[in-house]
Amino acid sequence: MFVLINWLGVFTWLSIHGCWAQQTHIKLEEGDLIGLKIFPDGARSAVYAFLGIPYAQPPLGPLRFAPAKPHNGWNRTLQATTMQPICPQLSNTIYDETVDGSILRATSSKEDCLYLNIWTPETGLRYGQLPMLVIISGEDFAYDWPRNRINGLDFAAAEGIIVVSVQYRSNIYGWLGLGQDHRQLPGNYGLSDIQLALYWLQRNAPSFGGNADQVTLLGHGSGAILALAMALQPDGDATTFKQVILMSPGPVLYALGAGHQERIMATGRMLVHKLGCQFEEQQHRQLLSCLRRKSTDDLLRAYESVYNHGNGSMQLGVQLRGQLEQLLVNASLPPLLLGIGSNEGAFLQDYWLDVARDGHVPLHGYINSTLLPNVLRFMQLEAGASEAQLAAIRWRYFGEDSSVSRLLWGMQRLLSESLYETPFLRLLQLLNGSLSYAYVFDQSLTHSMDMRGRQNLFGGASHSSDLPLLLGPSLFQQISRRRFSAEEEKLCRKLRSSFASFVKGGNPTPGRIYDGWQPYTAQRPFIYSLGEALATKTLELPSGSDEAQIEQLLGGKQQTELGTDRSLSRINRHDSYRQNGQSYVASNQLDSGYGNHLRRVFGFWRVLLPTAQDAELREAGAGYDGGVVGQRVRLMEANADAARYRQGFYAMLGLVCLLLACLGLCVYLLRPPIRATCPMSSPGAKVVVQRNVTEKETERQPQQRKEEEQVVTSVCDVQDNCSRTMNNQQWVAARLQTLSEEPELEMEREREQEMAVVMEQQPLEMRQLLRNTWTLSATNTNKMWLLKTGNTS
């Protein structure tokens, strides 16, 4: 009967994912395995799935609250065809919510939960040496996705990579501890589960066609913090993987920063007291026996009382030997790929909507009494939070508008910037010495969908909306009950291609130069945009259809767009993608500019708030618009905007200078030729040289002639920049000779006047004779003057 139910579950899983399967058989050190040979929908090759492989002994009885121990193996052939239940965790949480608000039946869980799920391409078992991707999921160190489990079927089929998902202990089972040096309850049991799983993969990778020297560790949510903690372990533990991917790490500074060991130890002691084992803990005996006698319900109820819906009042998680800042300075980390969503806080919970339906007054009360203290606690500002700091936060995220939509928008932006964006930038700054590729995932053209199947109506990509797109159409169809749209399929290919390239070669965009993905450094804070649009724009209040849908939610109506079938046939979907001649990374050829937004947010939380004083609040007045707080915020925003446009301004200035230089060159090459003319020979040009000719000038020396040559030459230079050619020199010489003969002509004129006086005194006959003689002489002289001056008129 059990076998029949098992196979019925297998057929149901395969029918949901739209594929068919056959059995396959491999041998391991622990025993024989029978898996499934699956033919995914739309894939070109088959994938072998081995589900529910035990890698450690069941953590039951004496192994509860103890480090994981290797599995002893199995004598019979193991049917690795279905996923095993997850480890015990709380139910009816935000991660259990559904699209329509219905309460589903609780998923099965048990303490015997340390299993692996492996998807290997067909080429792996044939040829081997394929890279391996190990996925660690989780939220708040308390949950794993209970229904929509991680599925690596499509990723393995499309990219030729072996995908592995790890089940490990979380919440009180994985992180209850009284200090790493405590003899009975050191904690970090979940971390030991992951370490043992990686050692198991190292030994058995060749049996699945994998390369043990090319393992990439991917963590999402709190799993990203665990992956970072694994990278910070001693060299013997960190050599089991080569690269690390951190997706949406969240408040990593609070989880691993200063004081996290003390907070975890204080929470552990409180849990021990709540479970009634404090007397054994004080006497240092039988503490573990008392805890191991407790039932699963008792342990989860005690944990729920300290977890308190993740408000951060108590912390339970992984412990490091030291502070994160110090460890990152001295550690030698493998290559990192890390990023967040553009609007992580839009992962709304039903309780927010329930309070919002009662109006803005109860929502204001929830913000002031619960949300703000929780955020300040995660930002480690609660102890010294003043009224000025609270006023600055309200001014930035809520303003004076008290509408319900405005308050909801401010709440999700508050969580995004405080719990994700600010710690993310600080982590990038601490990783400056390591090779790290940073990205922001944005989904603005279509509403993003998280792992619960809910749409984001506030813009951007909400928390966990990248997982369904990264892992392919099977998981997406399981969540949304529909196929990819054309835009979602392009986004899926884009995400999957970048991650697969990093897993294979350590570079998310190999072979590309102009639009290549540059590492993040202090000198070049490059953040790549993985999404439909660049993330430089600011997320604004929802309007139009989005606002109408929000009002429907507040009115009790559920989202209906996800229920509509927007699926396309397989041929149409692929054709619509291939018809686009441009690459799907064409919109990301330059830096996304998201770093400017992160620096603005970081300046508000890490620069402005710690220095805010009560005097600034009094200066700000009632509206805070004219005070020092508002002025500082606006100044920081203006500086960030100026930094964003400074590079473009200099580029435009250089382009303008280049165009002006080209214009000047063209004018120089196309100018008309200038003829060399002298004003003495041009029509209408006159040079007046006034000279007083005396009898003594007829006897001037050669030195005076040279001075006259210089005077006449300077006159030609002044008029229209005459060219000094040989013809002009000849003209000057002729003119000088003419000037030398002018005194003789003057003497002739004086002689004529004297002759006229003499003629008046003579008789008429003698006067006529003298006149004829003078005319002949004067005519010859004038002809000579006219010829030499060139005046033929």
Would you state the pLDDT for residue 674?
A: 58
> Any idea which of 91-95, 381-385, 685-689, 703-707 has the lowest mean pLDDT?
685-689
Would you state the pLDDT for residue 592?
A: 60
* 658 and 735 belong to one structural domain: no
Please report, as a single letter, which amino acid is at residue 220: H
For residue 160, the SS3 value is coil
Q: Are 53 and 36 in contact (CB under 8 A)?
A: no
Confidence class for position 237, pLDDT limits 50, 70, 90: low
Q: Is the pLDDT of residue 11 over 80?
A: no
In a domain, 578, yes or no: yes
Confidence class for position 725, pLDDT limits 50, 70, 90: very low
Mean pLDDT throughout 669-686?
A: 54
Would you state the pLDDT for residue 788?
A: 43
Q: Give Cα 454 to chain centroid, integer Å.
A: 25
Mean pLDDT throughout 251-267?
A: 92
In a domain, 592, yes or no: yes
Each residue's pLDDT tens digit, 344-355: 999 888 888 888
Each residue's pLDDT tens digit, 72-88: 999 889 999 999 999 99
Would you state the pLDDT for residue 750?
A: 72
User: Which of 302, 334, 366 represents a domain boundary (last residue)?
Assistant: 334
Torsion-angle region of 239 (φ positive above 0: left; ψ -120 to 50: alpha; else: beta)? alpha
By percentage, how much of the chain surpasses pLDDT 90? Answer: 39
Q: Is the pLDDT of residue 300 over 90?
A: yes
**How many CB atoms neighbour CB 514 within 10 A?**
6
Q: What CA–CA distance (Å, rounded) separates 299 from 166? A: 23
* 666 and 719 belong to one structural domain: no
For residue 341, the SS3 value is strand
Q: Is the pLDDT of residue 389 over 50?
A: yes
Give how many domains the chain has, as a whole number. 3
* 206 and 249 belong to one structural domain: yes
Would you state the pLDDT for residue 170?
A: 94
* 622 and 568 belong to one structural domain: yes
Mean pLDDT throughout 507-531?
A: 88
Helix (H) or strand (E) holding 591: none
Cα torsion through 561, 566, 567, 568, rounded to 10: -170
Q: Is the pLDDT of residue 762 over 50?
A: yes
Q: Degrees (nearest 5) of the Cα angle 496, 51, 56?
A: 110
In a domain, 477, yes or no: no
In 3D, which of 546, 466, 473 has the Cα closest to residue 154? Answer: 473
Confidence class for position 69, pLDDT limits 50, 70, 90: very high
Would you state the pLDDT for residue 570?
A: 31
Q: Tell me the Cα Rg of the chain.
A: 45
Would you state the pLDDT for residue 301?
A: 93
User: Which of 334, 358, 388 represents a domain boundary (last residue)?
Assistant: 334
Q: Is the pLDDT of residue 332 over 50?
A: yes
In a domain, 445, yes or no: yes
In 3D, which of 234, 226, 231, 220 has the Cα closest to residue 255? Answer: 226
In a domain, 509, yes or no: no
In a domain, 12, yes or no: no
Confidence class for position 89, pLDDT limits 50, 70, 90: very high
* 399 and 443 belong to one structural domain: yes
> Any idea which of 205-209, 242-246, 290-294, 447-451 has the lowest mean pLDDT?
447-451
* 308 and 359 belong to one structural domain: no
* 149 and 276 belong to one structural domain: yes
Instruction: Give the side-chain half-sphere CA count within 13 A for 733.
Output: 6
32-39/78-79 β-pairing: parallel
Q: Are 133 and 500 in contact (CB under 8 A)?
A: no
* CATH code for position 170: 3.40.50.1820
Each residue's pLDDT tens digit, 545-584: 566 776 666 666 555 444 333 333 333 333 333 333 333 3
- Mean of per-residue pLDDT scores for the chain: 78
* 360 and 488 belong to one structural domain: yes
* 161 and 210 belong to one structural domain: yes
Mean pLDDT throughout 384-389?
A: 77
pTM of structure: 0.74
N-terminal to C-terminal alpha carbon distance within the chain: 136
Domain coverage including residue 589: 342-469+482-498+514-673
If one compares 182 and 702, the residue with the highest pLDDT of the two is: 182
Q: Is the pLDDT of residue 703 over 60?
A: no
Would you state the pLDDT for residue 132?
A: 97
Each residue's pLDDT tens digit, 120-162: 999 888 888 999 999 999 999 999 998 889 999 999 999 999 9
Q: Are 246 and 219 in contact (CB under 8 A)?
A: yes
Q: Give Cα 273 to chain centroid, integer Å.
A: 46
Helix (H) or strand (E) holding 337: strand 336-341
Q: Are 220 and 467 in contact (CB under 8 A)?
A: yes
Would you state the pLDDT for residue 579?
A: 33
Mean pLDDT throughout 406-411?
A: 91
* 302 and 153 belong to one structural domain: yes
> Any idea which of 163-167, 466-470, 571-575, 671-675 has the lowest mean pLDDT?
571-575
Would you state the pLDDT for residue 617?
A: 45
Would you state the pLDDT for residue 598?
A: 92
> Which of 59-73, 400-414, 552-566, 636-650 is modeled with the greatest confidence?
59-73
User: Which of 315, 334, 353 represents a domain boundary (last residue)?
Assistant: 334
Each residue's pLDDT tens digit, 212-236: 999 999 999 999 999 999 999 876 5
* 425 and 528 belong to one structural domain: yes
Would you state the pLDDT for residue 538?
A: 52
Q: What CA–CA distance (Å, rounded) separates 717 from 732? A: 12
Each residue's pLDDT tens digit, 38-62: 988 877 889 999 999 999 999 999 9
If one compares 617 and 264, the residue with the highest pLDDT of the two is: 264
Would you state the pLDDT for residue 455?
A: 87
In a domain, 474, yes or no: no
Confidence class for position 691, pLDDT limits 50, 70, 90: very low
* 300 and 354 belong to one structural domain: no
Would you state the pLDDT for residue 545?
A: 59
Would you state the pLDDT for residue 558?
A: 53
